Amino acid sequence: MSRFSNRYKKIRRTVLEIIGAFDGVFAYKGPRCVQIDLTNACNNNCIGCWCNSPLLDDYKQTSDATLPTDMVLSLLNELKNMGTEEIYFAGGG
């Protein structure tokens, strides 16, 4: 991809971000950065964890749900088409 094309895309994304900020209702582009929690499964109970802390009592997540591979691949394709630049893969905690 040429330098001009990359520069054009960056300017376009920035302009769409500014338009979205002024609009206040509609985002004209996808997210720049996304974190995908691939699974809730964990065998620890860290006290500071937002989903597995023993202090959460009834609010503790009990599911070991894991995202299906085809769903993740579809999401990655969608994010690519929306211009997402960074993706972090993480667990549930």
**Quick one: 14 or 45, whose CB is closer to ligand SF4?**
45
What does the alpha-carbon distance between residue 77 and residue 73 come to, in Å, rounded to a whole number? 6
What does the alpha-carbon distance between residue 79 and residue 29 come to, in Å, rounded to a whole number? 10
Sketch the per residue contact string, 28 through 67, with ligand SF4: x for CB under 6 A, - otherwise: --------------x-xxx--x--x---------------
16: exposed, middle or buried (Cβ count in 10 Å: 0-12, 13-18, 19+): middle
**Does the footprint of ligand SF4 cover residue 72 (CB under 6 A)?**
no
Residues found near ligand SF4 in the complex (CB under 6 A): 42, 44-46, 49, 52, 91-93
